[in-house]
């Protein structure tokens, strides 16, 4: 598990590469699109790839991808923004971005241990649209739509389903619940993706939340900086400034997602006073590699976004093919510690099934203990595999 430090660790690393705007990489089907259209998030939203014909026009699909598309269409729809498609490898089905957005055969296989609502979110709903599990904080679902539907989504049961869209009445009843529940200090706007709402709607929500005396922390969980960075506009940033500080949790899973457009979006958010943190989900073939996570975290820190969580993929239905063994996450943690500053080391977290909440896993640094003359002696292994003894003299 421990990675002996080597000379390579002390050599200069490859410079970070944010590439170009996705416009320069756009698939041939968008040849006639202007740069202004491409930069307009409404255009991106309207032109999302949703049908098999569009998918075929954009990608060289394998037979199994076609089959998976057809058979998953009714349960969990496909949507891919032209921006996100432009960052993918259109020939290679193993492209780490493509794996997150184009259905795979594995989705069609379900296992007995999988759960429709893996985190027991519906069971902890005091009112529709609010999950209140911890004493001080709530998840507030304000939209069930996202620019791209991630194949590993834990909320597949409702995300992308037009019948479950949060109505105005539902948002009102959520706000009412927060107003009357004075233990709630921290509100996490979630979904779906809250940036699917219009600026006007989002502004109203932020304003109402700020007006509640006991609400101290407002957070936005959004994948828009990854899948639709064009959504980060000066108008949106003004809202974040007006009602800030707003903590923004992004969801970058791979360094290729953090391109020039995403970097610009993060910088705009940061300049508007947003406090940025990333929630990565560990996924097989996407980021189950210490080098990939290391590079992603370097890029995130450069962009002013701290790696916050590295989440074990949970037990939702039809995502087992994307799950990694727990030891993979521990191995990545052991590699990161020491090789990147502490700000680049996330918490490795498992969200327990059935609503147990999050627990944190750490590599084992304690090797053994023995009784010394002055107290217990603990033998630790450090990040590079060397042993050190710590005398726990107790309270003298
Ligand atoms: C993850 C989660 C939160 C936020 O947890 P933090 O650890 O504070 O980021 C709040 N409520 C629920 C139900 C959650 O799953
Ligand atoms: S952005 Fe989040 S809520 Fe939306 S599909 Fe992806 S994982 Fe699910």
Within 6 A (CB) of ligand 2 lie 146, 149-150, 153, 155, 159, 191-193, 223
DSSP code at position 29: G
CB within 8 Å of 353: residues ≥ 6 apart: 115, 118, 119, 120, 314, 315
CB within 8 Å of 238: residues ≥ 6 apart: 272
Q: pTM, whole model, 2 decimals?
A: 0.96
The residue nearest atom 3 of ligand 2, judged by CA position, is: 192
What would the pLDDT profile of 10-62 be if each residue is shown by its tens digit? 888 899 999 999 999 999 999 999 999 999 999 999 999 999 999 999 999 99
**305 is known as an active-site residue:** no
DSSP code at position 232: -
Whether residue 263 has pLDDT greater than 90 = yes
Angstrom distance (rounded) from CA 386 to CA 10: 17
What would the pLDDT profile of 333-374 be if each residue is shown by its tens digit? 999 999 999 999 999 999 998 889 999 999 999 999 999 999
The pLDDT, as a whole number, for residue 85 is 98
Instruction: Give whole-number Cα distances, 357 to 34, 135, 290, 315, in Å.
Output: 46, 12, 26, 13
- Closest atom of ligand 2 to 192 CA is 3
* Residue among 119, 187, 357, 360 to mutate when testing ligand 1 (max atoms within 8 A of CB): 357
Angstrom distance (rounded) from CA 290 to CA 324: 13
Nearest ligand to residue 217 Cα = 1
**146 is known as an active-site residue:** yes
Nearest ligand to residue 154 Cα = 2
- The C-alpha angle with vertex 179 and arms to 176 and 182, in degrees rounded to 5, equals 140
CB within 8 Å of 193: residues ≥ 6 apart: 143, 145, 146, 147, 221, 222, 223, 224
CB within 8 Å of 200: residues ≥ 6 apart: none
């Amino acid at each position: 598990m421990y990675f002996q430090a080597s000379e390579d660790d002390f050599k200069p690393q490859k410079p970070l590469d944010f590439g170009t705007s996705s416009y320069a990489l756009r698939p041939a089907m968008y040849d006639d699109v202007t740069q202004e259209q491409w930069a307009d998030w409404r255009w991106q939203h309207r032109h999302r790839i949703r049908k098999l014909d569009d998918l075929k026009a954009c990608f060289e699909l394998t037979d199994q991808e076609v089959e998976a598309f057809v058979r998953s269409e009714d349960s969990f729809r496909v949507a891919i923004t032209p921006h996100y498609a432009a960052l993918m490898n259109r020939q290679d089905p193993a492209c780490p971005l493509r794996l997150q957005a184009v259905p795979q055969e594995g989705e069609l296989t379900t296992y007995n241990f999988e759960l429709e609502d893996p985190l027991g979110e519906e069971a902890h709903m005091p009112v529709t649209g609010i999950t209140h599990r911890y004493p001080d904080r709530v998840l507030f679902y304000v939209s069930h739509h996202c620019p791209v539907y991630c194949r590993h989504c834990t909320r597949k049961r409702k995300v992308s389903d037009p019948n479950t869209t949060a109505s105005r009445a539902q948002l009102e009843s959520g706000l009412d619940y927060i107003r009357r529940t004075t233990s709630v200090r921290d509100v996490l706007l979630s979904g779906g993706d809250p940036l699917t709402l219009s600026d006007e709607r989002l502004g109203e929500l932020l304003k109402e939340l700020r007006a509640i005396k006991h609400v101290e922390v407002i957070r936005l969980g959004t994948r828009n900086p990854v899948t639709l960075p064009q959504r980060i506009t000066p108008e949106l940033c003004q809202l974040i400034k007006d009602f800030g500080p707003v903590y923004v949790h992004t969801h970058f899973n791979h360094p290729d997602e953090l391109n020039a457009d995403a970097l610009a979006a993060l910088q705009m958010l940061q300049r508007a006073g947003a406090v940025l943190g990333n929630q990565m989900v560990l996924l097989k073939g996407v980021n189950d590699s210490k080098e990939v996570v290391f590079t992603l975290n370097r890029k995130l820190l450069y962009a002013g976004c701290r790696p916050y969580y590295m989440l074990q993929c949970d037990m939702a239905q039809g995502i087992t093919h994307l799950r990694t063994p727990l030891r993979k996450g521990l191995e990545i943690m052991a590699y990161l510690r020491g090789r990147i500053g502490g700000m680049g080391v996330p918490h490795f977290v498992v969200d327990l099934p059935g609503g147990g909440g999050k627990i944190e896993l750490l590599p084992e640094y304690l090797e053994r203990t023995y009784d010394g003359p002055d107290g217990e002696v603990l033998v630790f292994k450090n990040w590079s595999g060397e042993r050190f003894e710590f005398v726990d003299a107790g309270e003298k």
